Amino acid sequence: MKSMDLDGSSSLVASEGSGSVPAGHVQARRHTAFYRFTQQSLPACKPVLTPTWVISVFLLMGIIFIPVGLLVLHASHSVAEIVYRYDTECVPASYKNNMVAYIKDSSVPKLCSFSIKVNKTMKAPIYIYYQLDNYYQNHRRYVKSRSDKQLVHGLAYNDTSSCKPLQSHNGLPIVPCGLIAWSLFNDTYKFVLGKSELKVNRKNIAWESDREHKFGKHVYPFNFQNGSLIGGGNLDPNIPLSDHEDLIVWMRTAALPSFRKLYGRIEEDLHADDVLAIKLMNNYNTILFAPGFYILHIATHEIETYNNSSLYYPAYA
């Protein structure tokens, strides 16, 4: 209970179960607590870092993490991988000095064939990646040249100003618009073992969240690659964007100029000393900025990782 003087000021504060406490003492306590809080001087655990304590903590951390590190290192070294660069190997001898003319001339066949030997048994599924070097998907203007809302709603969404300079052609909107979709990678690969062609599964190569939520199931390509300057691959106008998984993988831009993207999976085992014949269509025009092309076969593993001699990062994921 608080007692009041004639002038209205309080002089005592009643505490429950105990006598009266002067109001000034309560204010002093509150001020002291607030000061200690703002100055971070409240009671806290402040252990003394003695040599014995520090050594014990580091030993405990080593006991826990050294086996984990050895397991990851073993998984990394056990990954079977084949890397082959084909950007210069697939150019005819007559065009070696003018590779730009070769890639631009549509009358020249772009089919390229070569064989590679499997040095180590590779258990299915075997992941196939294509790799590009010196390709800056992280450039600001390139990354911004897309419309996420158009990818979901299609022609129902009209504001495609973010897709400049490829938002329309002949007065009609482009679906999907923007530089990223326009530059879709379009080299294709076939793999032959003996006399039979290995099937490449290109389903479920993109993130499920992208397929379900970022690309419309009822949005179809429209007026795509109809301009005079063709950037990359074309899209089937009868297939919705959510089923164009190669496009979905490509639209997830890479953070670094050297990157891999998932092309597909081989669902059969490859054994040591098998000779794999590869037939590819060398369509993609990147000779002007001299990238490197690779085909990569990476066996699946419980801990998905890469050999430490191959410092590249997958960009689909």
* Mean pLDDT in order along the chain per 10 residues (317 residues): 43 46 59 74 80 93 94 82 82 80 80 89 88 89 94 91 89 93 92 92 93 94 85 91 95 91 91 91 74 60 42 34
Q: Which long-range contacts (CB under 8 A, 24 or more apart) does 189-197 make?
A: 189/128, 189/263, 189/278, 189/279, 189/280, 189/295, 190/278, 190/279, 190/280, 191/266, 191/276, 191/277, 191/278, 192/276, 192/277, 192/278, 192/279, 193/268, 193/270, 193/274, 193/275, 193/276, 193/277
Q: What is the pLDDT of residue 1?
A: 44
Q: What is the pLDDT of residue 97?
A: 80
215 and 120 part of one domain: yes
Scored b (16 or more CB within 10 A) or e, 264-280 reads bbbeeebeeeeebbbeb
165 and 276 part of one domain: yes
Between strands 313-314 and 259-266, the pairing is parallel
Domain count, the chain: 3
**H or E stretch covering 55:** helix 51-77
Scored b (16 or more CB within 10 A) or e, 94-105 reads eeeeebeebbee
116 and 6 part of one domain: no
Q: What is the pLDDT of residue 32?
A: 73
Claim: this prediction has a pTM higher than 0.85: no
Q: What is the pLDDT of residue 285?
A: 75
130 and 263 part of one domain: yes
62 and 142 part of one domain: no
Surface-to-core class of residue 151, CB atoms within 10 Å of its CB (0-12 exposed, 13-18 middle, 19+ buried): buried
125 and 97 part of one domain: yes
87 and 69 part of one domain: no
Residue pair 185/263 in contact by the 8 Å Cβ criterion: no
Residue where one domain finishes, among candidates 77, 98, 127: 77
Q: What is the pLDDT of residue 89?
A: 79
pLDDT (tens digit, 9 = 90+) per residue, 242-290? 999 999 999 999 999 888 899 999 999 999 899 999 999 888 877 765 5
Domain coverage including residue 31:
2-38
147 and 200 part of one domain: yes
119 and 241 part of one domain: yes
94 and 130 part of one domain: yes
71 and 109 part of one domain: no
Q: What is the pLDDT of residue 314?
A: 37
DSSP notation for 137-186: TT-HHHHHS--HHHHHHGGG----GGGTTSSEETTEE-BS-SHHHHT---
18 and 124 part of one domain: no
